[in-house]
Amino acid sequence: MAAQLLIRTANAVELPDSLPPLVRRIYSQREISQPSDLELSLAKLLDPQSLKGISEAVDLLEQALIRDERLLIVADFDADGATSCALALTALKAFGAEQVDYIVPNRFDYGYGLTPEIVELAKLKSPDLIITVDNGISSIEGVDCAQAAGIKTLVTDHHLPGSELPTAAAIVNPNQPGCSFASKSIAGVGVIFYVMLALRARLRSTGWFAERGITEPNLASLLDLVALGTVADVVALDHNNRILVSEGIKRIRAGQARPGILSLLTLAKRNYATLAASDLGFAVGPRLNAAGRLEDMSTGIECLLAQDESEAHTLALQLDGMNKDRRDIESGMREQAFALVDEISLDGDALPAALSLFDEGWHQGVVGIVASRIKERCHRPVVAFALADAHGASDELKGSARSIQGFHIRDALDAVATRHPGLISKFGGHAMAAGLSLSRENLEEFRAAFAEEAARVLSPELLQATIVSDGELTAKELTLTNAVLLAEAGPWGQAFPEPCFHGRFRIQQLRRLGENHLKMVLSPPDDDAVIVDAIAFNVSEEDWPPATATEITLAYRLSVNEFRGNRSLQLMVEHLLGSS
C-alpha cells in the first residue's frame, strides 16, 4: 500500500541552548511541553500517593507481612506480566515475606486473568491474599469466587476497566475512575513497582526494617525489570515512563541487571553496555513472550528470578528455543494471512475498513503477532482469530486485535458489543491492542459489525498509511557523532518515536545480502565526498530498485554500526520511497 510522507512540525517550547542543535530540533518535534520534561532523574517520578487505592493496598500488604500471611501472585502471561511477577516476588521477599508464591495462567487452559478456574487452582496453595499483576481489573467473577472462598484480593493492573469493577479489597489502576495519577500509560510492571515503593515507605515509617534487622532494600535494583516490561508492552513513553525506562537502561548498561536479562541479551547478540530501548523491545521481549505464547510463562518468570548465572543461562536457552519455534509458526501463519487478505481484494484500497481473519490451523499464542503484521501491511485495524481449543472440542474463538492511530480498539469492541448484545463473549485491552472471545458461529456477524464500526470512525485519511519524518539532514549532519547523540537522547519508543529522516541519495554501490536485504553505499546529491553505508532489511521485490538506478529516496534512521571494535555511521532504512 502506498504511503504518504508527513514531516513533523516543531512545538513552541523553549529548550536549553546547551543541547546539540540536532537533538534540540528532535525534542522540539516530540511531546515536550516544558524543559523539565527532559529531566529523567528518579526524583522527578510521580508521587505514589496520587494512585487511587494505594493506601488500601499498602494496608493489606503491611498486615499480611505482620501476620505472616500466605501471599499468592497471579500474573499475566506476557512480558509485562512476567516482569511484574518477578518484581513483586523479589520485593516482597526482600521486605521479609516468608510465604509468597505465584501462578501464571496457561492461556490455552485457563485464559486471561483471575478467572474462577484460576481461583480454584489458587485454592490448592491456600493463600490468604491474592495479588494480581498486570490483570484483574475485568476479573469480576474471579474476585467474587476468591471472596466466597475467604481469600482477600488486591488487584494491580493498568488495563482499561469496564463499566463494573471487581469487589476486591483494594484496586490500584491509574485508569480506574477517580484516579488522579497523571501517567495513564504506565505498564503493569510500573504499577506494582509503585505499590512496592509505597509499601517500603510505610514499613520504613513504622520501623519494620530496623525492628527485624532487615536491610532496607534498594528498589532501584528492580528497574531493569520495569524497563523491560514497559518497553515490551509497547505503552506510550510519557515523561514518567521515560524516567523508569531510562533508569532501568542505565543499570543494565552498568552490568547491574539480573542474570536472566543479561543471558537473554547475550543470546540475542546484544551488547548490554550499549543497550537501547529497542533492544528490549525487539530482542529480549520476544524471547520472554515466547514462553507465554507457546507453553507456560513460568519459564520466563523463573529466568527473571534466577540468581545463579548458569541457571539463568539454561532457562534463557529454553526461551531462545521457544522463540525460534514461534518464528517458524508465525512465518507460516503470516503467509496464510497475506493470502486471505489477497482473496478479499487484490486492490488494498478496496479492503474493508477493518479486517477479521481466521484459520482453523492457527496457533492461539501467535495470532497477536499475525494481526500486527497484517495491520502494518494494510494499515487497518485487524483481529486474528484461532480456535480456543486446538483439538476442536469447543466452538469458541479467541481473537487478538491490533489497531492504528485514530481507532481505539477496546472502545470499538465495546461499541460492537453494545450494538450487538451477545455477539462477543468477553473482551478487554487498550487503545492499540485488545483481546476477545466469541462463538465461531458469530464470526461473520462480528466481521461485518467490526468493519462497520471502523468505517464509522475512520476517515479515508486515517486509513492511508503514513511515513512520519523529522525532515532532511544536510551532508554535514550525516555523522557518527550525531548518531551517538541521538542514541543517547532517548529512550525512544511508543509515542516518543526514534528520529526518522528522509532524503535523496546518489547510489555509489548496491548489492543484495541474503535473500532480500539491500546493502548500499550512498552519498548526498550535493556532496560526493560524504560516503555513508546503508542497509534495508526484508525488501519486497516490487520495492527493489532497478539495476540502472543512480539515485534513491529513503526514510532512514541514523545508527551506529559496530564491527570488530570499530564504530561507523550506518543508515538503517525504514522505507524505500523511490529510485531513478
Question: Which range is least confidently modeled, 33-37, 181-185, 312-316, 400-404?
Answer: 33-37
Do 88 and 109 lie in a common domain? yes
Q: How many domains does the chain have?
A: 3
Assess if residue 393 is contained within a domain.
yes
Residue 522 has pLDDT above 60, yes or no: yes
* Vertex 524: Cα angle to 522 and 528 (nearest 5): 80
Residue 376 has pLDDT above 60, yes or no: yes
Structural domain harbouring 396: 333-457
Assess if residue 2 is contained within a domain.
no
Indicate if the alpha-carbon torsion angle 37, 41, 44, 49 is positive or negative: positive
Do 478 and 567 lie in a common domain? yes
Model confidence pLDDT, tens digit, residues 126-165 = 999 999 999 999 999 999 999 999 999 999 999 999 889 9
Assess if residue 550 is contained within a domain.
yes
Antiparallel, parallel or unpaired: β 4-7 and 551-563 = unpaired
Model confidence pLDDT, tens digit, residues 51-97 = 999 999 999 999 999 999 999 999 998 999 999 999 999 999 999 99
pLDDT for position 347 = 52
CA distance 183 to 46: 8
Q: What percent of the chain has pLDDT over 70?
A: 98
DSSP string spanning 417-463? HHHSTTS-SEEEE-SSEEEEEEEGGGHHHHHHHHHHHHHHH--TTTT
Model confidence pLDDT, tens digit, residues 534-563 = 999 989 888 899 989 999 999 999 999 988
User: For the domain that residue 539 is a member of, what is the CATH number?
Assistant: 2.40.50.460
Residue 180 has pLDDT above 90, yes or no: yes
Do 517 and 551 lie in a common domain? yes
Do 311 and 397 lie in a common domain? no
User: How far lies 560's CA from each of 245, 374, 408, 483, 489, in Å?
Assistant: 21, 30, 36, 6, 14
Do 383 and 443 lie in a common domain? yes
Task: Please give the helix or strand (H or E) that residue 384 lies within, else none.
Answer: strand 382-387
- If phi > 0 it is left, if psi is from -120 to 50 it is alpha, else beta; for residue 514 that is left
Average pLDDT, the chain: 94
State the alpha helices, DSSP H only, in 128-253: 140-148, 188-205, 208-212, 223-232, 239-253
CA distance 454 to 448: 10
User: What is residue 515's DSSP assignment?
Assistant: T
pTM score: 0.93
Do 87 and 227 lie in a common domain? yes
Assess if residue 33 is contained within a domain.
no
Residue 397 has pLDDT above 90, yes or no: yes
Do 274 and 180 lie in a common domain? yes
Task: Decide which of 457, 484, 510 is a domain's last residue.
Answer: 457
CA distance 496 to 29: 10
In this structure, which amino acid lies at residue 255? G
Do 280 and 422 lie in a common domain? no
User: For the domain that residue 346 is a member of, what is the CATH number?
Assistant: 3.10.310.30
Only one residue has cell 465495546, namely: 414
The secondary structure of 530-552, three-state, reads CCEEEEECCCCHHHCCCCCCCEE
Residue 346 has pLDDT above 70, yes or no: no
Do 82 and 223 lie in a common domain? yes
E strand spans, 76-124 = 100-103
Contacts of 279 (CB under 8 A, 6+ apart): 265, 268, 270
Do 343 and 448 lie in a common domain? yes
Average pLDDT score over residue span 378-396: 88
Task: Please give the helix or strand (H or E) that residue 23 lies within, else none.
Answer: helix 21-28
Place 515 in a pLDDT band, splitting at 50, 70 and 90: confident
Q: In a 3-state reduction of DSSP, which class is residue 115?
A: coil
Assess if residue 327 is contained within a domain.
no
DSSP string spanning 123-149? HTT--SEEEEES--TT-HHHHHHHHHT
Do 201 and 278 lie in a common domain? yes
CB-CB neighbours of 546 under 10 Å: 7
Distance of CA 312 to the CA centre of its chain: 23
Do 392 and 480 lie in a common domain? no
Average pLDDT score over residue span 294-301: 92
CA distance 575 to 556: 7
> Residue 465 corresponds to which cell in the numbers above?
498509511
